[in-house]
Structure 1
Amino acid sequence: MHKYMRAIGFSTMESRKKLQELLTDAVIHADRRSLARNQKNILVGEFCKDFAKGLGVAVCGELDEEDGFIYEYYYPYLDGTGITSYEDVSVERHADKESYAGVCDDIKVGISLIFYLKDKIPYIRAEATNRLPVRGTTLTLSALSTGGTILFPIQKDAEQEQRVKKNSVARNNLMAAARKGDEDAIETLTLEDMDMYTIISKRIQKEDVFSLVDTYFMPYGVECDQYSILGEIMAIRLVTNEVTGEKIYILTICCNELTFDVSVNIIDVYGEPQVGRRFKGVIWLQGSINFPEEFA
Structure 2
Amino acid sequence: MHQYLKAIGFENIQTRKDLKKLLKEVEENFTHQTIVSYRPGEDFCEFQKEFGQDVGITLCGELDDEEHFEAAYYFPYFEGSGVTTYAEIDVQRKIEKEQYVGLCEDSKIGISLIFTLQNGVEYMREKQAGLAKDVQTSVTFSGLAQGGMILLPVNKNEQQILNEKRASDTRRELMNAARKGDQAAIETLTFDDMDLYSKVSKRLANEDVFSIVDTYFMPFGAECDMYSIMGEILAVRERINRMTGVRLYQMRLNVNELTFDICVPADSVMGEPEIGRRFKGTIWLQGYINF
Q: Same fold (TM over 0.5)?
A: yes
Counterpart mapping for 1:78-93 below 5 A: 78-93=78-93
Distance 2:143 2:103 in 1: 15
Unmatched runs of 5 consecutive residues or more in structure 2: none
Deviation at 1:134, TM superposition (A): 6.2
In structure 2, give the amino acid aligned to 1:269. Answer: V
Question: How many matched pairs?
Answer: 291
Is residue 144–residue 264 contact of structure 1 (8 Å, CA) maintained in 2?
yes
Q: Secondary structure at the match of 2:206?
A: coil
Alignment partner of 1:155 is 2:152: no
Counterpart mapping for 1:95-106 below 5 A: 95-106=95-106
The one-character-per-residue Cα deviations of 1:203-250 (angstroms, maximum 9, x if unpaired) are 101100000001100000000000000111110011001111000000
Distance 1:178 1:134, change over 3 A: closer
CA-atom RMSD in angstroms? 1.2
Counterpart mapping for 1:148-227 below 5 A: 148-227=148-227
Is residue 89–residue 134 contact of structure 2 (8 Å, CA) maintained in 1?
no
Deviation at 1:157, TM superposition (A): 1.1
Q: Secondary structure at the match of 1:20?
A: helix
Distance 1:21 1:177 in 2: 53
The one-character-per-residue Cα deviations of 1:62-107 (angstroms, maximum 9, x if unpaired) are 1011121111111000001000000011011111111111001111
Q: Secondary structure at the match of 1:12?
A: coil
* Corresponding residue of 1:294: none
In structure 2, give the amino acid aligned to 1:45. Answer: C
* Corresponding residue of 2:57: 57
Deviates more, 1:15-24 or 1:143-152: 15-24
Counterpart mapping for 1:20-35 below 5 A: 20-35=20-35
Is residue 38–residue 125 contact of structure 1 (8 Å, CA) maintained in 2?
no
Distance 1:39 1:213 in 2: 51
Q: TM-score, normalised by structure 1?
A: 0.96
* Corresponding residue of 2:17: 17
The one-character-per-residue Cα deviations of 1:24-50 (angstroms, maximum 9, x if unpaired) are 111111111111113777411111111
Is residue 39–residue 128 contact of structure 1 (8 Å, CA) maintained in 2?
no
Deviation at 1:258, TM superposition (A): 0.6
Counterpart mapping for 1:243-262 below 5 A: 243-262=243-262
Q: Secondary structure at the match of 1:115?
A: strand
* Corresponding residue of 1:282: 282
Deviation at 1:15, TM superposition (A): 2.5
* Corresponding residue of 2:270: 270
Alignment partner of 1:130 is 2:167: no
* Corresponding residue of 1:6: 6
The one-character-per-residue Cα deviations of 1:169-197 (angstroms, maximum 9, x if unpaired) are 11100100010011111111111101001
Counterpart mapping for 1:113-128 below 5 A: 113-128=113-128
Distance 1:189 1:132 in 2: 33
Deviates more, 1:17-26 or 1:250-259: 17-26
In structure 2, give the amino acid aligned to 1:284. Answer: W
Distance 1:279 1:141 in 2: 16
Q: TM-score, normalised by structure 2?
A: 0.97
The one-character-per-residue Cα deviations of 1:242-274 (angstroms, maximum 9, x if unpaired) are 111000000111101111111100111011101
Distance 1:107 1:38, change over 3 A: farther
Distance 1:230 1:209, change over 3 A: same
Deviation at 1:135, TM superposition (A): 3.9
